[in-house]
Amino acid sequence: MRPRFSWNIGRRSLPLGERTLIMGVLNVTPDSFSDGGRYFSPSHAIAHGLALLDEGADILDIGGESTRPGAPTATASASITTIPTTAATNPTTANSIAGESSAAQARADSTPATPLSRADSTPAAAQPHAGSTPTPAQSHADSTLTPAQSHADSTPTPAQSHAVPTANPHSTAARAAAVSAEEELSRVLPVIEAIKRLRPDAVLSIDTYKSAVAARALRAGAEIVNDVSGLLWDPAMAATLAAHPCGVILMHVRGLPHQWRTQPPVPDIVSLVLTDLRARARHALDAGIPSSALVLDPGFGFGKNFDENYPLLARFAELQTLGFPLLAAASRKSFLGHTLAARLATALPSELPIEPPSPLSSATLPAPSSALSALLPPTAVPSTPAPPTAGPPTPAPRTAVPAIPVPPTAVPPTAAPPTARDNATLAASVAAVLAGAHIVRVHSVRPALEALAIADAILRA
């Protein structure tokens, strides 16, 4: 059973649980792992965003920076990988998170959800913050933390024994060619503004971990902030989102993109994700973000090795114990590509013995039966050679054709390319929805809409 929520995204609320909402991915980047910069130009991005809406996307998630494995990041905190677990390891505190969530949700449910068709031109709640000095977004590069944010850099507890060692985000590996907030804004703002102008009712999300980008995008018309770092990579993000009423997606991440290929596995990835997401939700609530605004994402592929993603998918229902709506974003992820490649490798033999048939002629055709001869017109009856006077007929000799090896280009790759993972994406998305996901983030919307319509019907049965 999938619980129902009313998701407070600032100017309106979205009902979650009646059916699965589809979030379409719109990457305005030159180096995205999934589409390789296909929609980097504003005109292409705008056209693709409108197409995704026409295909049935409920939300557009617009991003201007790739967080693929190995990508540099412009983080502002030196202890980004430290995740406080005090709330998560204390059952009383952990239960209070769910209790606060339920209480806030009950208050939210008492007010009817505004239908999707309603859209206001400017977020009223955000206007008083537009001229404040300085804004949280303007302090993005400031390394000084406020008291409410200081626990993000606390000393690791024993429960964090499997955390990735703290990395210096100012190192060459972490910051070389990192996308600045200014560059990210130059990519996403024209797209957000154009789509809101053409489709005022569209629900737009900004995919960013930078507070400066989030604040500007919200003022431009975005209503959701999808932070892949779960408020970890920018210490000003929590305060910024508390000051700008909006929907907030907190994703679980382990380490930085340049660490993902080398970090050690953990014995129980599901328990770690549950613990860390509780801590991230606690941090958001302490910063003043209402629980009715939160959606949690286990972060498929973000700091998990290939095999660690399948336990997350198999035990996705356990995430419901957190007490918040859930988002599943497995679309075109590498773990799907590796599984596909392994399966296809067993389906493609190393060599294909091929024996072409001999050309047909009247001399090689068998003699028709008397019954068949009666049905055939005279001109269609094949001639039959006269039987030999003695002994069985001697078959014509056939030349053996040697086996033809498959050329090197036909050898299956170690991972299926991203654009060849859409069928696998549907399988993973349906599995997550049947386990309780409220929102699915995908690159191909129409196939997902059709598959999830069946999944929703199963949940209602």
Per-residue pLDDT tens over the stretch 285-307: 999 999 999 999 999 999 998 89
Flag the least confident range among 120-124, 181-185, 190-194, 231-235.
120-124
Answering whether pTM is above 0.75, one says: no
* Confidence band, pLDDT 50/70/90 cuts, at residue 34: low
Q: What percent of the chain has pLDDT over 70?
A: 61
Tokens representing residue 78 in the block? 């030196």
Residue 429: enclosing H or E segment and its boundaries? helix 422-434
Whether residue 39 is predicted with pLDDT greater than 50 in this model: the reply is yes
Long-range contacts at 448-451 (CB < 8 A, ≥ 24 apart): 448/22, 449/22, 449/55, 449/56, 451/426
pLDDT score at 257: 84
pLDDT score at 340: 92
Whether residue 119 is predicted with pLDDT greater than 60 in this model: the reply is no
Spatial separation of the C-alpha atoms in residues 249 and 244, rounded to whole Å: 14
Q: What is the mean pLDDT of residues 122-145?
A: 36
386, 388, 389, 391: CA torsion to nearest 10: -160
Q: What distances in angstroms separate CA 402 from CA 352, 356, 396, one per listed residue?
A: 10, 11, 19
Contact residues for 300 (Cβ-Cβ < 8 A; gap 6+): 309, 312, 313, 328, 329, 330, 333, 335, 428
Nearest to 169 by CA among 64, 284, 280, 82: 82
Report the mean per-residue pLDDT for the chain. Answer: 75
Task: Give 348 or 318, the one with higher predicted confidence.
Answer: 318
Whether residue 133 is predicted with pLDDT greater than 50 in this model: the reply is no
Query: Residues in the chain, how many?
Result: 461
List the domains of the chain with CATH numbers.
Answer: 5-113+134-342+427-460 (3.20.20.20)
The tens digit of pLDDT for each residue in 366-411 reads 454 454 444 444 544 445 555 555 555 555 555 554 544 444 444 4
